[in-house]
Structure 1
C-alpha cells in the first residue's frame, strides 16, 4: 500500500481548518528532465524545508522533491504544539544513555525550540505563534510526578517557566471534571502548522532552493553521485536527505525497519465564542497523560481543535468526526452536541522507543524521521543538523543518531499487526484507568 495516495487526493491538501485558513501559492511545477544539484531532499515538510533553507543559505544548489504539495503530510496537519525537551523525559533518557548524553540531548532540544521561534521571527512567518503548552493528569499520583519533573528540570538545567498546577489552578485553566492537576510550560508554544511550513517553503525558495511538487521519487540509486528518478525526470546529487517520515515507502529499508507510519486525527468544532472559556480560559495548548493522548487548543476564531482517537489500519475511518468526538466528550461532556465543522487525518511516524531516528543510510545519504508526535521543533532542528552534517559539522547530528534504536519485531511485514496488539492493550489500560 502506498500511503502517499491511500487517504488523500493527489496534490490536494486535506479539508482541514488549517487548509481553510492558509494561503498556499499555486502548485509548483513537477520535475521535468535532468537536474544536477549539490543536495537533493526528498520531502517538503519541516525536516526537508529546514534542511533546504539552511543549505541554500550556505550557498548549496538545493533541489526538493515533493510527491504532493509542500506541507502536505504531517507538517501541515498536526496539533501545532512546539514542545520542550525530547519525546521522552530526561530521567528516562538518562537511564537509557547516561547523564552526559542525556544532558547533550536536553541542550539539543532547547536548540530546537529556539531555532523554530527564531526562524518564524527572522522570516516573518505569520503562523499564530503563541506561548504556553500544558500537560494534564488524571490522578494525584500523576500530578505529583509532573510537579517532581518540573523541579528536576529546574535543579538540573535551570529550566524555569514551568507552572505547577494543582486541582484548583488546573480547573481554572481547563475546567474538565476529569483532570486533577499538571504543569504549564510558558516557553513551549503552539502555532498554525500549515502556515508555518508554507513559510519555511517561501524562505527556502527565497534563499535559492528549488521545490518540485507532484514529484514522487520512484527509485534511488546510491553512489557518488546519487541518482533519483521520478516519472518526469532525474536528479543527480552529491548528497541526499530523506525527509519523508511516514511516507518513506521502500526508499530506505534500513529506516523502514525502525520507523513505522501510523495515523492520527483532529477535528475543529464550530466557533465557541464566549463559551470557549469552558474549555480553556487562556490561549494555551494542552495534552494529557493517556497513552492514546488527547491534545487540544483553541483556534484564533475560538474553535476547539481536538486531536485524539485511534485506529490501527493505514486507511482513515469513514467517519473521523465520530471517532474523535468520543474522547473529546469524555473530557468535556458539555460538548456532546457541538457541531464539528472540520475533521481530518494525517500520517506520522513512530519508533519503538518513541525517539527520533537519525541515520546515515549511505556514505552521502542522511535520513531523519520517527518524531513520534514531537515533530514541530524536532523535525525543524533535524533539518538544520543534517545541513550542518553535510557541511562537515557533525556533532549535533551524531548526538541524535547515537540514540539507541530498535527495529520493530517482524520487520515491515509484521510490525503493523504487532502494533495493533500493543496499542489495543494500552488503549484498554486508558479506559480502565490503570
Structure 2
C-alpha cells in the first residue's frame, strides 16, 4: 500500500506546533462531509490552489464545495517560507529553451499576474498576514553572483523587469551580515508574508462568497463521468466539475498526477525573539533564499524571530529532532546563532516535478489539476487556482499556457518515490558540501 503523507507525520485534524499556527487567528473547525451532496464544482484540497479556485468560482456565481482531508492550510500552504517570488520556478532562460520565446513571455506575464493576484487578494479581503516587499537571492561565490547579475540584466532587457538591485559582496553584507555570502540580488517586486494567516484569510473570503467547506473529509475515490462523484468516508458529492488541488498530499488519488509530482519534506525553525540582535541577521525586512541545491531560506518575523528553513531529509518520515536538523545549516550561515534558543521547529510536505514547473493538466473533460510548485507556490498556487476557475467557466488561455509546459514522469512513477528521493537528496547534499 502506498504511503499516504496525510497521516505520516501529523496529528489528525491538528496543525503542527509551528510559529505560524501559534500566531494565526484560527478558524472554527468546519464539519466533515456526511450524506449525499450536489454542487456545480468540487474542489479537493484547501491549500492556496483550492482556496483560490473555490473563491473565484463562488464569486462568479457557481455553487462550490471545498473538501479538505485535514484543516484549512494544513499542508505546505500553512507551513512554507512565506516567499512570494518573481517569475516561474524555472529561470526564464531555461523556459526559453524548453517552450520557446513566445510561451516564455506568456509564462513570465502569468508569473507577474500571480504576484499581483496575491497582493490584490490580501488588500481586497483585508487579510492581515504581514505582507512586506523584498526577496534577496544570496550567493556563495563570485561566479554565482555574476550569474545572478547577468540574469537580472536579461530580465530587464527582455522582459522589462526593473525591480532587481544587483548586490556585490559589500552590499550583500550590508543587507545580510553573514560571512557565507558573496553578493547576489535584491528583488523589491517580490514579497514575503505569514503563509497560514494568508490561507485562513482566503478561507474566510471563500466562506463569505458562499463556498461550502468540509474539513476532516479525506477523498477516497473519484468516479469520473459527465457528472463526477467524489467519495469520502462518510459522504459523497456529485458535481459537474472537479478540481484536484492536493499537491504533496495527493497520494494515489490520480495515477497520472502521482507519476509526475513527487512529495518532499522541508523544515523550518523559529528562534526566540532576537531583539536588537536582528541587525546581525538582516538589516531590512526582506526574505532571503540562497543558491544551495538544498536551499536555505529565511526572514524575520514581526516579533523579531529568525525563521530559518533548511536541512536535508532522506525519507518521508519527519526526523525526531527537527530543531537540530535545521540548526546545522542555520549555524553555517549565522555562526553567532549556533546555540540560540529555538522556540518552534516543524516540517511540511511540498511537491516537486522533474522540470521544477507545476504540473497543470486536464485529466478528463471535467477534471482539472494543478500541483508540483517546487517551492514556488505562494504566488503560483494561488494563480493556478484562479486559472482553473477561469477554465471551468470556459476561459482557458492561461490554463492552457501552463498545461503546455512539458512535465516528464518520474522514472518508475510513484512506485519509486522513496528510493528516488533518497538518491536525489544524497546527490544534492553532496554537491552542496563540495561546492559544485
Q: Distance in 2 between matches of 1:292 and 1:110?
A: 26
SS at match of 1:60: coil
Residue 159 of structure 1 corresponds to 161
SS at match of 1:403: coil
Q: C-alpha displacement at 1:420, in angstroms?
A: 1.6
Residue 286 of structure 2 corresponds to 284
Residue 314 of structure 1 corresponds to 316
Residue 304 of structure 2 corresponds to 302
Q: C-alpha displacement at 1:231, in angstroms?
A: 1.2
Alignment of 1:99-178 (within 5 A): 99-178=101-180
Give the conservation status (yes or no) of the 8 Å contact 2:110–2:398.
yes
Give the conservation status (yes or no) of the 8 Å contact 1:131–1:189.
yes
Over the residues paired in the alignment, what is the CA RMSD in angstroms?
0.6
Match status 1:71 vs 2:81: no
Give the conservation status (yes or no) of the 8 Å contact 1:129–1:192.
yes
Give the conservation status (yes or no) of the 8 Å contact 1:246–1:260.
yes
Deviations 1:27-65 (A, max 9, x none): 111111111000000000000000000000000000000
Q: C-alpha displacement at 1:419, in angstroms?
A: 2.8
Match status 1:18 vs 2:20: yes
SS at match of 2:288: strand
Alignment of 1:385-400 (within 5 A): 385-400=387-402
Give the conservation status (yes or no) of the 8 Å contact 1:41–1:240.
yes
Q: Distance in 2 between matches of 1:67 and 1:225?
A: 22
SS at match of 1:185: strand
Q: C-alpha displacement at 1:158, in angstroms?
A: 1.1
Residue 341 of structure 1 corresponds to 343
SS at match of 2:6: helix
* Residue of 87, 90, 100 corresponding to 1:88: 90
Q: Distance in 1 between matches of 2:62 and 2:20?
A: 32
Match status 1:245 vs 2:262: no
Residue 380 of structure 1 corresponds to 382
Q: Distance in 2 between matches of 1:215 and 1:300?
A: 34
Give TM-score, length-normalised by structure 1.
0.99
Give the conservation status (yes or no) of the 8 Å contact 1:268–1:343.
yes
Give the conservation status (yes or no) of the 8 Å contact 1:262–1:312.
no
Q: Distance in 1 between matches of 2:85 and 2:65?
A: 30
Give the conservation status (yes or no) of the 8 Å contact 1:76–1:193.
yes
Q: C-alpha displacement at 1:312, in angstroms?
A: 1.8
Residue 329 of structure 2 corresponds to 327
Contiguous gaps of at least 5 residues in structure 2: none
Give the conservation status (yes or no) of the 8 Å contact 2:56–2:389.
yes
Alignment length (residue pairs):
434
Residue 229 of structure 1 corresponds to 231
Give the conservation status (yes or no) of the 8 Å contact 1:292–1:427.
yes
Give the conservation status (yes or no) of the 8 Å contact 2:133–2:191.
yes
Q: C-alpha displacement at 1:348, in angstroms?
A: 0.5
Q: Distance in 1 between matches of 2:258 and 2:238?
A: 23
Give the conservation status (yes or no) of the 8 Å contact 1:240–1:365.
yes
SS at match of 1:3: coil
Q: Distance in 1 between matches of 2:160 and 2:413?
A: 41
Deviates most, 289-298 or 26-35: 26-35
Q: Distance in 1 between matches of 2:428 and 2:145?
A: 20
Deviations 1:66-90 (A, max 9, x none): 0111000000000000000000110
Contiguous gaps of at least 5 residues in structure 1: none
* Residue of 257, 260, 276 corresponding to 2:259: 257
